[in-house]
Amino acid sequence: METTSLHTTGSKQGKRLLEVRNLETKFYTADGVVNALNGISYSVDEGECLAIVGESGSGKTVGVLSILRLIQSPPGRIVGGEILFKGTDLLKIDDKELRTIRGGAISVIFQDPMTSLNPVMRVGAQITENIREHENLTSRQARQKAADLLGMVGIPTPAKRLDDYPHQFSGGMRQRVMIAMALSCSPQLIIADEPTTALDVTIQAQIVELIKSLQAELGTAVIWISHDLGVVARLADNVAVMYAGHIVEKAPVDELYARPAHPYTIGLLNSLPRLDARIKTKLKAIGGLPPNLLGMLQGCAFAPRCMFATQICREQAPPAIEVAPRHQVACWHSELVSAGERP
């Protein structure tokens, strides 16, 4: 049977797969223009796991949905930038070409497996639908492949479960079905949008380990969106931190946790108690609230909550500068910040 095709995408990390440049997405609502993404740039290499970290409303989900042009329009619109996937700008190709990439070379795993699976369709039919959309297989071959995929993501008696409906699976098992669907056409890039947020911790650990091992085995690149800095520490090669529609800091994972250089990143890391810490010092909370993205923001978006903020921060948005190899920070005072000094 055709199971080998699952294992043919394995490749070494290194070659540039995706490059996002100055991506800008806005939502034109009745209340005004929401500046959801304000010119973000990042890249993903083959086999890499990039984590995008941020709180609700930071633009992390909009940022990756924009890659596949999955932003609902109206009210949303991608107003600027480039999304180069293996050299092709995804913003310039037509819908038909884009459809071969969606669910093919790039696939998505959404946060909530209950609402992203069709409740009145057997899971086997949902998986084979995607396979047959992209690959020229008979229904029997596609069904066999679907069963192989379910087996691969750790669902017991996969051939039998093909005829079950989503509600007959538990939350963790549904997320495995979603992963099987995402893998069905040997993608080169998987976008995982908080895939473990709705799950219990022991199930979350199962899913994280599953994705890690699949990634090692298949060499697929992963963009992992999360607000959980623990999960990111476990999974990611590189991390981008988002705040108010900007990437404020970007670095290899060890570098980011060891030498964070943006006050927001430091604030996030300091506000978490550690599971392995006996000492109980007062948590350092970040004061204030995330900004409203309605209307134009002047200066650095984090300035109102930042203890390093000065006049320039309130007036001009900081450019991203490189503070160490592959470590970029958008902060006027990153030198002071990484030195741990207060202005």
Partner 1 sequence: MNENVLVRVKDLKMHFPIRAGILKRTVGVVRAVDGVSFDILRGETLGLVGESGCGKTTTGRAILRLYEPTSGEVNFRGNDLASESAEEVRRTRRHMQMIFQDPYASLNPQMRVGEIIARPLRVHKLASNAREEKEMVADIMQKVGLNVNFRDRFPHEFSGGQRQRIGIARALATSPDFIVCDEPISALDVSIQAQIINLLEQLREDLGLTYLFIAHDLSMVRYLSTRVGVMYLGKMMEMSSADELYDSPLHPYTKALLSAIPIPDPPLERRRQRTLLAGDPPSPANPPAGCRFSTRCPIAVEHCRKVEPEFRLATEGHWVACHLV
Binding site for partner 1 (CB under 8 A): 55-56, 170-173, 200-206, 208-209, 227-234, 236, 253-254, 257, 267-269, 271-278, 280, 282-287, 289-290
Name the burial class of residue 80, with classes exposed (0-12), middle (13-18) and buried (19+) by CB atoms within 10 angstroms of its CB.
Answer: middle
Structural tokens at position 325: 């190899």
In whole angstroms, how close is the CB of 300 to partner 1 at the nearest point?
Answer: 16
Query: Residue 296 Cβ, how far from partner 1 at the closest point, in Å?
Result: 21
Task: Decide whether 200 or 322 has the Cβ nearer to partner 1.
Answer: 200
Chain centroid offset of residue 256 CA:
17
Query: Which alpha helices (H) appear in 188-276, and where do they start and end?
Result: 201-218, 229-235, 253-258, 263-270
CB 67, min distance to partner 1, A: 24
Least spacing, CB of residue 133 vs partner 1, in Å: 31
Tell me how far, at minimum, the Cβ of 338 lies from partner 1, in Å: 18
Q: Using CB atoms within 10 A of its CB, is residue 115 exposed (0-12), middle (13-18) or buried (19+)?
A: exposed
Judged by CB, which is closer to partner 1: 185, or 300? Answer: 300
Closer residue to partner 1 in complex, CB, 141/197: 197
Q: Alpha helix (H) ranges present in the chain?
A: 60-65, 95-101, 113-116, 123-134, 139-152, 158-161, 171-183, 201-218, 229-235, 253-258, 263-270, 311-315, 334-338
Q: Which is nearer to partner 1, 98 or 203 (CB)?
A: 203
Report the DSSP beta bridge partners of residue 308: none
- Chain CA centroid to CA 310, Å: 32
Q: Which is nearer to partner 1, 96 or 274 (CB)?
A: 274
Least Å distance, CB 85 to partner 1, is 28
Distances (CA, A) of 59 to 129, 232, 244: 31, 17, 7
Q: How far is the CB of 159 from partner 1 (least distance, A)?
A: 19
* Choice between 49 and 78, CB closer to partner 1: 49
- From the CB of 170, what's the least distance to partner 1, in Å? 4
Pick the closer one to partner 1 by CB: 85 or 224: 224
Residues 244, 303: Cα–Cα separation, whole Å:
11
Q: Cα(239)–Cα(224) distance, rounded to whole angstroms?
A: 9
Q: How far is the CB of 9 from partner 1 (least distance, A)?
A: 24
- DSSP helix, strand, coil percent of the chain (3-state; round to 5): 35, 25, 40
Report the residue number, 97 or 254, with the smaller CB distance to partner 1. 254
Neighbours of 279 (CB within 10 A): 5
**Residue among 56 and 136 whose Cβ is closer to partner 1:** 56
* Residue 210 in tokens: 């599953």
Distance CA 39, CA 58 (A): 13
